[in-house]
Amino acid sequence: MGLREDIIKIAKAEAADIICFAPATRFERDDPIFSILPEVKTVICLAFRILRGVYRGIEEGTTYYQFSTMGLETMEETVMPIALLRVCNLIEASGAIALPQRRHYTVMAEADSTNPEAQNDAIFRGRTQEVQMRFEESAVLCGLGERGMNGTVLTDEFGPMVRYCFILTDAELEADPVKEPHLCDRCGACAAACPGHAIDPKTGEVDRWRCAVYYDGASGLKNPFMAPDAYAE
């Protein structure tokens, strides 16, 4: 097997569900990948499914912690870093350079941005985009999926229920094609389904602060722990 096939084999053995590759030439010259690793030749995307079961407990009112533990913390802090390191070790053993890239959830390029998966008092705002990759754009360029109306990356296999990370390498590897958009028809169902009304039904623009508040449990319809007088004012 060649290096590309070995990468796919190791990544799948470490729980990656989708592995796709893009040539660096597919990215604009001002993209952060070129400041992160100037000699980058290939961008590798590893995607991991979020189990459908971790959402059911929230929807059905039985268990509320599985998403935050198994769907978020364990995935981002254990499963994905181990997969990244295993694949990077393989690439560097072949004589190439490999640089793992995962999201830094406390770093925000926008001065007024937030993240519902991080404590607000821990967020560093106003940082330039060069501190980390443009994750959604990079996923699309690697062939993972297409951007939905609200900016989420949609995959054929799992819809939006994936988490993904990247490896930058100076090894030249066969690329996957960019997916032709075919899943999102901008019907507005995502906006209608959002309990926080954080998605503009016409433009798809997301109110990040409103999204963060409702993601953290502001919906009285979905959060049984909400105090009865929480909406008194």
Sorted by sequence, the CB contacts under 8 Å of residue 131 that are 6+ apart come out as 32, 104, 107, 109
Helix and strand element counts for the chain (H, E): 9, 6
Lowest-pLDDT range of 38-47, 118-127, 153-162: 118-127
β-pair partners for 164: 47
Asked whether residue 127 carries a pLDDT value surpassing 60, the answer given is: no
Q: Which two tokens stand for residue 192?
A: 């209608």
d(Cα 172, Cα 225) in Å, to the nearest integer?
52
Asked whether residue 121 carries a pLDDT value surpassing 80, the answer given is: no
Q: Which two tokens stand for residue 118?
A: 């991080």
Q: What is the largest CA-CA distance in the chain?
A: 65
Asked whether residue 185 carries a pLDDT value surpassing 80, the answer given is: yes
Asked whether residue 227 carries a pLDDT value surpassing 80, the answer given is: no
d(Cα 175, Cα 106) in Å, to the nearest integer?
31
Q: What is the pTM of this model?
A: 0.86
Q: What percent of the chain has pLDDT over 70?
A: 85
SS (H, E, C) 14-61: CCCCEEEEEEHHHCCCCCCHHHHCCCCCEEEEEEEECCCHHHHHHHHC
- Mean pLDDT to the nearest integer, 192-213: 90
Asked whether residue 152 carries a pLDDT value surpassing 60, the answer given is: yes
pLDDT band (50, 70, 90) for residue 128:
low
Asked whether residue 129 carries a pLDDT value surpassing 80, the answer given is: no
pLDDT of residue 119: 57
Please report the sign of the dihedral spanned by the C-alpha atoms of residue 27, residue 32, residue 34, residue 40: negative
CB 226 within 8 A of CB 220: yes
